[in-house]
Amino acid sequence: MERVLITGAAGFIGSHLCDKFLKEGFRVTGIDNFITGSPKNIEHLVTHPHFDFIEHDVTRFIDIEGKLDYILHFASPASPIDYLRIPIQTLKVGSLGTHNVLGLAKAKKARVLIASTSEVYGDPLIHPQHEDYFGNVNPIGPRGVYDEAKRFQEAMTMAYHNFHGLDTRIVRIFNTYGPRMRLNDGRVIPAFMGQILRGENLTVFGNGKQTRSFCYIDDQVDGIFKLLFSGYHLPVNIGNPEEISILDFAKEILELTGSKSEIVFKDLPVNDPKQRCPDITKAKKILNWQPKVDRKTGMIRTFEYFKSLSDRELYNTEHKNFDRFIKR
């Protein structure tokens, strides 16, 4: 049985990756320090015979006993609320954490996949964004701690690949959504759905003409899985190229949920990207991958998940960690 280590295992995407690899017959070891992840996301796995968990901060030395065949590095704050609240930790996990993960991969002779982001393109000057575009990033802006952490992460990964011959993969993840997202993480889908469930108005920033494209979690995980087992080491965009403006998206969610909430407008945050849409030509050609779940289906599934949350989770506006019976 091959073994995979997943950092950020208690996060949104990380926890779904744990499910995927267990389903595919791997032994899975998860790492998380719960700074943004939640034990609730993996509590269904604690009794699984092929899953074990280590509570650990990857910015400190990582010591894993036994063989490792694959490492997926998904430890990182990933929403504006998080990386504005904990900017130093965001920079450290992208730099020190990545260094530790790459060093572990080198020691174990493991293939490593690094989770990068569409944010490396910044507020893009080309549209849609393809992997050869270098980006338009403000390194000292409020989003710079996340953007530059991920750009540095890619640079270090390529350095290990070129200098040490490490077997590496880089995925650039575009907006992804689905069950286990934190309702209060500041991204548009949980923000809108949380406001609807609390009977509040929907907040649209700027004039709402800025665009996003949304990829359902099952499609994202499938793309990541295929990339890991491909022979391609350069960055690959994984996302859904179906683009929609934020204002139209707000109207779509109101119609989908039958909500009577109204739309209110607030000032656009600094350096908020005006457009975000992936060119997935490489993913189609190299991985034979493209998204399958349409937005309406994915949104219904996600809204049903948010409706199942307790009132405490629904009205809690700050991230809280919860104690669970997890092997430390």
Q: Is 80 exceeded by the pLDDT of residue 110?
A: yes
Q: At what angle do helices 144-164 and 98-108 cross, to 10 degrees?
A: 20
Give the model confidence (pLDDT) of 23-61 as tens digits: 999 999 999 999 999 999 999 999 999 999 999 999 999
Q: Is 90 exceeded by the pLDDT of residue 322?
A: no
**Catalytic pick from 146, 160, 177, 216?**
146
Q: Is 90 exceeded by the pLDDT of residue 155?
A: yes
**Non-local CB neighbours of 87 within 8 Å, separated by 6+ positions:** 145
Give the model confidence (pLDDT) of 200-224 as tens digits: 999 999 999 999 999 999 999 999 9
Nearest to 257 by CA among 211, 207, 210, 301: 301
Q: Which of 117-126, 164-173, 297-306, 319-328 has the lowest mean pLDDT?
A: 319-328
Q: Which secondary structure element, helix H or strand E, spans residue 80, and what is its range?
A: helix 80-85
Measure the CA–CA gap between 316 and 10, rounded to whole angstroms: 19
State the pairing for strand pair 51-55/70-73: unpaired
Confidence of residue 80 (pLDDT cuts 50, 70, 90): confident
What pLDDT, on a 0 to 100 scale, did the predictor assign at position 200? 94
Q: Let me know if 177 is a catalytic residue.
A: no
Domains annotated on the chain, with CATH: 3-181+214-241+276-292 (3.40.50.720)
**What average pLDDT score do residues 73-85 get?**
91
